[in-house]
Amino acid sequence: MGIARLLAQTEDISIVGEAADGEEACAAVDRLRPDLVLMDLVMPKVDGSAATRRILEAHPEVRIVILTTYVERNDVLDALESGAVGYVRKDARPDELLAGIRAAISDPLPLVAGAVQDLLAVWRSREDSPDVETFDGGRLVIDHVRHEVRVDGAVCNLTLTEFEMLAALAGHPGRVYSRLELTTHARGHAFEGYERTVDVHVKNLRRKIESTSTSPRFIQTVRGVGYRLGVSVVLMETLTWLDLFMPA
Q: Are residues 188 and 221 in the same domain?
A: yes
Asked if residue 242 is part of any domain, the answer here is no
Rounded to an integer, what distance in angstroms lies between the CA atom of residue 207 and that of residue 201? 10
pLDDT mean across residues, the chain = 76
Among 112, 119, 116, 110, CA closest to 74:
119
**pLDDT at residue 206, as a whole number:** 93
* Percent of the residues in the chain that have a pLDDT greater than 90, as a whole number: 14
Q: Cβ(191)–Cβ(179) under 8 Å?
A: no
**pLDDT at residue 26, as a whole number:** 94
Asked if residue 66 is part of any domain, the answer here is yes
In this predicted model, what pLDDT tens digit does every residue of 88-127 receive, in sequence order? Answer: 777 778 887 788 778 777 665 545 444 544 554 555 454 4
**pLDDT at residue 248, as a whole number:** 35
Q: Are residues 116 and 137 in the same domain?
A: no
Asked if residue 138 is part of any domain, the answer here is yes
Q: Are residues 36 and 139 in the same domain?
A: no
* DSSP string for 157-209: ---HHHHHHHHHHHHSTT--EEHHHHHHHHHSS--HHHHTTHHHHHHHHHHHH
Q: How many separate domains does the chain show?
A: 2
Inform me whether the pLDDT recorded for 244 exceeds 60: no
Q: Are residues 151 and 106 in the same domain?
A: no
Q: Are residues 138 and 120 in the same domain?
A: no
Task: List, in order, residues 6 or more apart from 194 with CB less than 8 Å away.
Answer: 183, 187
Rounded to an integer, what distance in angstroms lies between the CA atom of residue 184 and that of residue 164? 10
Q: Among 3-17, 40-54, 92-106, 188-202, which is the least confidently predicted range?
A: 188-202
Asked if residue 243 is part of any domain, the answer here is no
Last residue of a domain, one of 127, 154, 176: 127
Give this prediction's pTM.
0.47
Rounded to an integer, what distance in angstroms lies between the CA atom of residue 233 and that of residue 248? 28
Q: Are residues 141 and 81 in the same domain?
A: no
Asked if residue 21 is part of any domain, the answer here is yes
The DSSP element (H or E) to which 79 belongs, if any, is helix 76-81
Inform me whether the pLDDT recorded for 168 exceeds 50: yes
Asked if residue 27 is part of any domain, the answer here is yes
Higher pLDDT, 148 or 82: 148
Asked if residue 173 is part of any domain, the answer here is yes
Among 189, 97, 81, 184, CA closest to 140:
81
Q: Are residues 143 and 42 in the same domain?
A: no
Rounded to an integer, what distance in angstroms lies between the CA atom of residue 201 and that of residue 116? 42
Report the CATH number at residue 91.
3.40.50.2300
- 195 is in which domain, residue-wise? 132-229
Asked if residue 38 is part of any domain, the answer here is yes
Q: Are residues 122 and 138 in the same domain?
A: no
Among 26, 28, 33, 13, CA closest to 53:
26
In this predicted model, what pLDDT tens digit does every residue of 210-235 receive, in sequence order? Answer: 987 778 889 999 888 889 998 754 43
Mean local confidence (pLDDT), 125-154: 78
Task: List, in order, residues 6 or more apart from 184 with CB less than 8 Å away.
Answer: 190
Q: Are residues 154 and 95 in the same domain?
A: no
Q: Cβ(230)–Cβ(174) under 8 Å?
A: yes
**pLDDT at residue 239, as a whole number:** 35
Inform me whether the pLDDT recorded for 75 exceeds 70: no
**pLDDT at residue 183, as a whole number:** 78
CA distances from 175 to 32, 61, 190 (A): 46, 38, 19
Q: Are residues 184 and 110 in the same domain?
A: no
Higher pLDDT, 150 or 5: 150
